[in-house]
Every structure is written in C-alpha cells, then in structure tokens.
Amino acid sequence: MTILTYDCTAFDGQKPGTSGLRKKTRVFMKPGYLECFVQSIFNAIGGVAGKTLVVGGDGRFFNAEAIQTILRMAAANGAECMIVGQDGLMSTPAASHLIRKRGADGGLILSASHNPGGIDADFGLKFNTANGGPAPESVTDAIFEATKTIDHYKTLDTADIDLTGIAETALGDTRIEIEDPVVDYAMLMEELFDFDALRALFESGFTMRFDAMHAVTGPYAKALFEDLLGAPDGTVMNAVPSMDFGKGHPDPNPIWAKPLVDLVMSPDGPDFAAASDGDGDRNMILGKGIYVTPSDSLAVLAANAHLAPAYERGIAGIARSMPTSAACDRVADAYGIECFETPTGWKYFGNLLDAGRVTLCGEESAGTGSDHVREKDGLWAVLLWLNILAVRRMSVKDVLLDHWQTYGRNYYSRHDYEALDTGTAQELIADLTDRLDSLAGQSFGACTVTKADIFSYFDPVDGAQSHNQGLRIFFEGGSRAVLRLSGTGTDGATLRVYLERYEGPAGDLTLTPQIALHEIATATAEITGLAVRTGRTAPDVIT
C-alpha cells in the first residue's frame, strides 16, 4: 500500500487549549487543516511508529470523516494498532478508560464537548496521553510549535473502513480494532458501584429521567440504567446520538436542558434527574424540586463516597479547580484529608491522581470524576449519586439540606457573558489586572474588598508552575468573585464571572442563590465596569 506525502503550508492559530483545538466545523473541513494538525500531534509525540492509539468521538458533524482521515494518517505514519469505537463513537471517559486498560500510547478524541454541532457549529480534536488524561502543557506546547513548522503530512490513498460492526481489519501494516464503545465502560462501572442496591432502588418505585441530549451518552445510559439496572424503558431521553445534537446545545445546565428541569420541578416529576453533554464528561444533577450545583455535587459526593464499594475505605484527597466553590474544602477539613486548588482544566488533576494524592476531582463547569479514569465522567457521577440515594434512602433535597446543616452552604453561581468582542473582553481583564493591588480596603456597595490577586498554581508533584489562571477578588466575610476568559468557545470571547458567599450551618440555608449573591454581583459589576464596557446589562447564561 503506497504511502502518500503531501506538501502543506502551516495554518495560523492551531494552538490547543485546555481541551484541545476547537474551531468552527468549516475550519476543520478546509483542505489540509485537519491533516496538518494531526501530523503535528504525531510529530510532537515523537511519531507513532509501532504505537497503539485509541480514537473515537461524540458523533458530531464531520466526526466520521475525520476519523477515517486519522486512521489513514496513523497507518501511513507506521502505527501498530488503532483501537476505534464502533461507528466512530466513544465517550471521552470511555476513551480514557480504554487507553489505560489497553496500555495504549495515547488517544485522539474528537469532540467540542458541550458546544453545539453541525456544519456551521463547532468541532474539536485533542490528544490524551498514555495515562488516559488530557495532554499536559508541555505536550500541547510541543504540538503548537509543530503546527508552526509543518511542511508535509503522510496518508494513504484508500477507501474508508467500515466501522459499523465489531471487527478487526488492517490498513496497510496497521491493525484496526473496532470495539463496542459501551462494553468495557459498563464493566468498569459494575466494579465501582453496588448494582444490586441500584436495582433494588428502581424496584422500589424510584423514578428517574436521564437526558442524553442527542449526544454520545445515549447508548451508554440505556445500557446502564435500562438494561443493567432495570429502570423502565424511556428513562433515558434523547438517547440516539445525532450529528447536530437534535439541533440543540449539548450543555447539561438549566438553560440548555430546560425541558428536563421543567419536568423534575413539576409536581409529578421524577425523584431524580440528570443529564450529560456532547462527549459524556459533564453532568447535571437534579432532585424533585431542586437543582444541585456542580460545586455542591462534588462536596456531597466527597462526603458520601464511602457508601459505594470502590471508595468504602475512604478517599485520599480532593482536588477542585480554582473557580469551583470551597464547599468540598470543608468536607476535606472534616475528614482530615488533603484538598488542592488547581487551575481550570482537567489536565491539572492528572499528576495528583497518578501520585495517589487525590481520589475525587471536580470543576464548577459540571465536571466531576475520580481516579478510575483521567477525565471527568458524567455517568460515573450519576451512578455515585444513585448509589448514595440507594444507601441513605433520602431524597436529593434532603441529602443537600443535611449536608448544608453539617458543613454550611457555599452559595454559588456562574454568570457567562458570551460572544463578547475579543478586544473588549481582553481590555476589561487587562484594566482590572492593573488595578488589583489598589482594591484592598475599598468598598463597593455593601461589600468591602480584603484582597485581590491573580491565581497561580505550583504543582506539588512535579513542581510545574502555571500563572495568570484567573483574577480573584475577596470580600469581607469570606465572599469572593472570580473572573476568567474561557477557552472553550469559538465565537469571540466568553467572560465567566464566578460569585461565592459562605453561610454557616446555623445561618439561612434556603435562600435563592441569586438573591444570596446579589450584593457580591453588584459590587463586582461596579469594580469591573462590566455593563459600560460590554454593553451587557445581564449575563447570557446563569448557572
């Protein structure tokens, strides 16, 4: 089989972010664009000759075509084996598990996560290393440098491989293994959780709805909840993956999963509800009449993880991203275990997990996970919640209230200002950065600033340092605001403003979050001049 070498010109802007390279789908479809980025990945990791890689994606538009391109290029570059999900599908946590289980040298995951899909929407590609986790900065920096100098790529002139069946085939000298993307992952979940207790929970009349949002977790959720645990047919909603996610936005939050939220908030709603995103790594948890913030979810899971077989001996520690609320810190203090505050991006948890310093990790952007993989894992979080409910025999609302009465409540909310002019957003952050040192002691409305800084992180495992990871403003009483420009969008800039206020166990624990955080939000808006600078009088999304 003839290897073809094509000359190419480097593309500008192929810098991977915290979750790989994300661009508009049409950008990835430009002649040579995907090929140049894939070859740059191969070049940056020392080539793929003799290596085994996992490849799969969330099924969005261009997923199938991109996987065929990757397989041909991997074969042309001498890969020994490519493990690919049936129909090109594989959730991100399942890919992480498969990389680890098979001892692969890494994996290529095609997804733009919670971003919409379609020819006029978003596409993404990231490389995960041999531990199953997202590539660290040293690797993504090497990939970016390779994209600047690439002048040729290798591929094969072959027909597409049929990925519809479970099979083993060959592409040149490269073995192609097509695997059911669900089986190995479901087996792992059975090892972690008490499936007998979960079956008994459903047999008792417990009701649940899971919204797969027309994304990759549909087949996984049906296999787990309906087939293995005996939940009634129809428990999983929007279960069939589609290239444009049913023309929806596969982000599991109260805005984009509003029909599920309306259902669980209704008088006849289910006892429990959950949703996951495009590639299956994020989650949303709800109980009858109540929404669980991702920060509270991490704290509750940490406090109750011992109720599941995999964690019955306790957890080693907890890690959270800096913008995530400090609710889990209070659990760590109570249990006498370590708690780490890292920059945003799951890759920052990898060293802590590999070193055995932490067991549970979480981000405020609906991501939670444990040391079973090196990615956040939406279905894992749902199953751990179910295991807790099965043992405690309490409603979600009562579990939350009991938690707050024990540890206090961290009122918390994220305000997203989307598709801002990039220059305007950068100027806002730059101006605030220049004024940080002068803010301490100033009052804005009812709030007085005690400290303001730029978050930096020192990795306790390898000593790596990460700077400029978000702006923090602390107020009297322990409240704070955090501002970051997000790297997950493809249109303009997204400014995320995180607001937090702590209320002790004896305080008022049942306020509406936006009411509890109103004074902090007002003070933050005054400090930043947000409305004047952006022309926005309210955020686009509140979670």
Domain limits, the chain: 3-180, 185-407, 409-542
Question: pLDDT value at position 504?
Answer: 95
Longest dimension (CA), the chain: 73
Separation between Cα atoms, residue 279 and residue 302, nearest integer Å = 24
Q: What is the band of 489 on the pLDDT scale with cuts at 50, 70, 90?
A: low
Q: What is the mean pLDDT of the chain?
A: 95
CA distance 69 to 65: 6
Superfamily covering domain 409-542: Alpha-D-phosphohexomutase, C-terminal domain (3.30.310.50)
- Assign 479 to helix, strand or coil: coil
Q: Alpha-carbon distance 5 to 522, whole Å?
A: 58
pLDDT band with cut points at 50, 70 and 90 for residue 492: confident
CATH of domain 3-180: 3.40.120.10
CB 138 within 8 A of CB 304: no
CB of 144 within 8 A of CB of 14?
Answer: yes
Rounded average pLDDT over 43-60: 97
Query: pLDDT band at residue 336, thresholds of 50, 70 and 90?
Result: very high
pLDDT tens-place string over residues 126-139: 999 999 999 998 99
pLDDT at 255: 87
* Common-topology check for domains 3-180 and 409-542: no
Residue 113 annotated as catalytic: yes
Q: What six digits make up the tokens of 542?
A: 């509140």
Q: How far is CA 296 from CA 325, 329, 412, 510, in A?
A: 8, 11, 9, 14
pLDDT over 70 percentage in the chain: 99
Q: What is the mean pLDDT of residues 338-350?
A: 94
- The answer to whether 131 touches 139, Cβ cutoff 8 Å, is no
CA distance 269 to 290: 11
Q: Determine which helix (DSSP H) or strand (DSSP E) holds 457, and give its type and residue range.
A: strand 457-458
CB 478 within 8 A of CB 502: yes
Residue 281 pLDDT greater than 70, yes or no: yes
Q: How many helices (H) and strands (E) does the chain have?
A: 18, 27
What is the per-residue pLDDT across 69-99, written as a single tens digit (0 to 9) for each? 999 999 999 999 999 999 999 999 999 999 9
pLDDT digits (tens, 9 = 90+) for 311-327: 999 999 999 999 999 99
Measured between alpha carbons, how far is 415 from 250 in angstroms, rounded to an integer?
18
The CATH homologous superfamily of the domain defined by 185-407: Alpha-D-Glucose-1,6-Bisphosphate, subunit A, domain 3 (3.40.120.10)
Cβ atoms within 10 A of the Cβ of 25, count? 23
Contact between residue 121 and residue 278 where contact means Cβ atoms under 8 Å apart: no
Encoded tokens for 336: 């006498």
| Confidence at residue 315, expressed as pLDDT on a 0 to 100 scale | 98
**CA-based end-to-end distance of the chain:** 53
Ramachandran class of 3: left when φ > 0, alpha when ψ lies in -120 to 50, beta otherwise: beta
Residue type, 528: T
**Mean pLDDT, residues 265-283 taken together:** 96
Res 542: pLDDT:
87
> Contact, 220 vs 186, CB < 8 A?
yes
What phi, psi does 124 have (nearest 5°)? -155, 160
Per residue in 186-234, pLDDT (tens digit) is 999 999 999 999 999 999 999 999 999 999 999 999 999 999 999 999 9
491 has a pLDDT exceeding 80: no
pLDDT band at residue 236 under the 50/70/90 scheme? very high
Give the pLDDT mean for 27-50.
98
Which of 19, 91, 111, 113 is labelled catalytic?
113
Under 8 Å between Cβ of 102 and 52: yes
Tell me the residue ranges of DSSP E strands in 139-252. 152-156, 167-171, 174-179, 208-211, 236-237
Q: So what's the pLDDT on residue 523?
A: 97
pLDDT of residue 487: 59
Does residue 276 contact residue 282 with C-beta atoms inside 8 Å?
Answer: yes
Q: What mean pLDDT comes out for the span 421-439?
A: 95
Please, which pLDDT band fits residue 305 given cuts at 50, 70 and 90? very high
Adjacent-strand bridge partners of 290: 287
User: From CA 146, how far away is CA 160, in angstroms rounded?
Assistant: 27
Calculate what percentage of the chain has a pLDDT beyond 90: 94
Q: Cα–Cα distance between 525 and 222 in angstroms, integer?
A: 44
Q: Count CB-CB contacts under 10 A for residue 518.
A: 16
Listing DSSP states for 44-104 in one string gives HTT--TT-EEEEEE---TTHHHHHHHHHHHHHHTT-SEEEEEEEEE--HHHHHHHHHHHT-
Amino acid at 217: T
pLDDT of 488 over the 70 cut: no
What pLDDT is attached to residue 543? Answer: 83
136-to-45, 131, 245, 375, 455 alpha-carbon distances in Å: 12, 11, 29, 13, 19
CB 78 within 8 A of CB 245: no
